[in-house]
């Protein structure tokens, strides 16, 4: 039996013991998250003796029951699991957005979904950046995950303005364009907005040959400063920037000098310049083409994209509580210290019920305020150190460390003599 101060307090003090059965530990844990683990039950039982020694139980009475210590130990493990999972969740969220989530019971244990996700290293895919890029590519007409369509219509002699939204919607509703040909976007538009990404407003004629980009007969379209013929026919050695300039200007040249029209488009209303005319010939009206995609509902799932129904934030990441068996020695030591700080807090709360205790001839002032202060400080310090350590091991930080190590090794090799091979 532990010794007590003399004179002994007249109140009823409970002195911690160092033993506890597995059933007693399991019964005392409020959440029961880890009570199925024999390793946890053993660790919680041993924590009693640790707390007893650290709080001076050999000298003074400790007004805590073993059940208090068991509950504190469970809370410490849950807090450790929370901080570690939060760290890993931040690490992988971008790469797992849209992937399968899970369901969890009232204890936070996973009941369905990917198993052991918190212990796995996901493929690093720049997931969120890729999804943003897909959206930007679709808006710019360069691909992306949105289906791209093309539509066409005949120009009308004397008509300058054309409502592309109406033209495309009518074709979508009927399934055929104004030429009677079936369209691939039948039934896709409805009340949704179409987003025009490109207008093909050229209509080449026979005269294009004389004003073409690489035409050898006429010099109007030749952007080379070395003669009337194309560079590939004269075998001229020209600077690289010349070819780059030609490549950049090629498409613009086609869509301006060789086109019969220019245009402006506002709110899917297309205006052609000049006003289409029949040029004196019957039924000579041009056919105009546009490229577009249909504005999809934000939560609509495409045929190959089920991501909108998966992980959307840290709350839906399919992480279980970290299994106790997978916590290493470093983690278990953190848990012991944090559980001790929790016990100090509980002891301070208990002793704070009475500021002083009467004894024969005088009174004794209890140290509840000191215990509470120490407990709060120790808890905050332990959590800060754990978060700091985890932050240093985030994936971007590890990549930076690898870079620094590579640079250091490279600097060493710069002053290291290379071996001489004699052949």
pTM, two decimal places: 0.69
Query: Which of 2-11, 27-36, 263-272 has the lowest average pLDDT?
Result: 2-11
Q: Is the pLDDT of residue 209 over 70?
A: no
Region 367-383 average pLDDT:
93
Of the CA atoms within 13 Å of residue 120, those in its CB half-sphere come to: 13
Q: Phi and psi dihedrals of 362, rounded to 5?
A: -160, -170
Q: Is the pLDDT of residue 385 over 90?
A: yes
The set of residues, in sequence order, having a beta carbon less than 8 Å from that of 266 and lying 6+ positions away, is: none
Residue with the larger pLDDT of the pair 236 and 381: 381
Please tell me the predicted confidence (pLDDT) of residue 14.
56
CB 356 within 8 A of CB 364: yes
Helix, strand or coil, per DSSP, at residue 29? coil
Please tell me the predicted confidence (pLDDT) of residue 304.
59
Region 270-282 average pLDDT:
74
Please tell me the predicted confidence (pLDDT) of residue 342.
97
Region 142-151 average pLDDT:
82
Confidence of residue 38 (pLDDT cuts 50, 70, 90): very high
pLDDT over 90, % of the chain: 40
Q: Is the pLDDT of residue 6 over 70?
A: no
Cβ neighbours of 111 (radius 10 Å): 8
Q: Is the pLDDT of residue 5 over 70?
A: no
Rounded to an integer, what distance in angstroms lies between the CA atom of residue 231 and that of residue 46? 86
Region 64-70 average pLDDT:
93
Query: Which of 207-211, 339-343, 357-361 has the lowest average pLDDT?
Result: 207-211
Residue with the larger pLDDT of the pair 336 and 62: 336
Q: Is the pLDDT of residue 4 over 50?
A: no
Query: Which of 170-184, 199-213, 306-320 has the lowest average pLDDT?
Result: 199-213
Q: Is the pLDDT of residue 100 over 90?
A: no
Region 234-255 average pLDDT:
67
Region 68-86 average pLDDT:
96
Q: Is the pLDDT of residue 306 over 60?
A: no
Residue with the larger pLDDT of the pair 331 and 359: 331
Please tell me the predicted confidence (pLDDT) of residue 416.
84
DSSP states of 299-367: TPPPSS--GGGS--SGGGS-PPPPPGGG--HHHHHHHHHHHHHHHHHHHHHHHTT-SEEEETTEEEE--
- DSSP type of residue 67: H
Please tell me the predicted confidence (pLDDT) of residue 123.
81
Please tell me the predicted confidence (pLDDT) of residue 340.
97
Query: Which of 28-32, 171-175, 200-204, 216-220 has the lowest average pLDDT?
Result: 216-220
Q: Is the pLDDT of residue 61 over 70?
A: yes
């Amino acid at each position: 039996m532990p010794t007590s101060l003399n004179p002994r307090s007249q109140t009823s003090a409970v002195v911690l013991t160092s033993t506890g059965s597995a059933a007693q530990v399991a019964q005392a844990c409020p959440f029961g998250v880890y009570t199925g683990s024999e390793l946890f039950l053993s660790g919680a039982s041993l924590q009693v003796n640790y707390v007893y020694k650290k709080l001076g139980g050999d000298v003074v009475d400790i007004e805590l029951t073993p059940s208090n210590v068991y509950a504190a130990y469970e809370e410490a493990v849950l807090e450790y699991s929370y901080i570690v999972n939060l760290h890993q969740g931040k690490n992988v969220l971008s790469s797992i957005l849209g992937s399968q989530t899970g369901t969890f019971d009232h204890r936070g244990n996973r009941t369905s979904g990917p198993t052991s996700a918190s212990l796995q290293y996901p493929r690093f895919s720049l997931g969120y950046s890729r999804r943003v890029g897909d959206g930007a590519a679709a808006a710019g007409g360069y691909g992306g995950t949105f289906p791209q369509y093309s539509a066409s219509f005949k120009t009308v002699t004397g008509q300058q303005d054309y409502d592309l939204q109406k033209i495309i919607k009518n074709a979508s509703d009927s399934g055929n364009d104004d030429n009677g040909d079936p369209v691939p976007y039948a039934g896709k538009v409805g009340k949704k907005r179409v987003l025009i990404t490109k207008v093909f407003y050229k209509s080449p004629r026979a005269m294009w040959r004389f004003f073409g980009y690489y035409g050898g007969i006429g010099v109007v379209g030749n952007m080379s400063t070395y003669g009337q013929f194309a560079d590939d026919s004269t075998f001229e050695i020209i600077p690289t920037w010349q070819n780059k300039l030609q490549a950049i200007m090629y498409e613009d040249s086609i869509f301006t000098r060789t086109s019969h029209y220019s245009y402006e488009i506002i709110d899917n209303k297309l205006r052609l310049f000049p006003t289409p005319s029949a040029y004196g010939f019957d039924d000579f009206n041009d056919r105009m083409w546009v490229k577009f995609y249909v504005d999809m509902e934000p939560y609509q799932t495409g045929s190959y994209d089920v991501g909108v129904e998966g992980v959307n934030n840290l709350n839906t990441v399919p992480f279980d509580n970290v299994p106790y068996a997978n916590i290493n020695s470093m983690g278990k030591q953190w848990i012991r210290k944090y559980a001790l700080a929790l016990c100090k807090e509980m002891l301070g709360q208990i002793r704070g019920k009475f500021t002083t205790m009467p004894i024969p001839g005088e009174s004794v002032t209890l140290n509840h305020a000191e215990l509470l202060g120490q407990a709060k400080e120790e808890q905050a310090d332990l959590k800060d150190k754990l978060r700091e350590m985890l932050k240093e091991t985030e994936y971007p930080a590890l990549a930076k460390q690898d870079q620094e190590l590579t640079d250091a090794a490279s600097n060493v090799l710069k002053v290291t003599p290379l071996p001489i091979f004699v052949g």
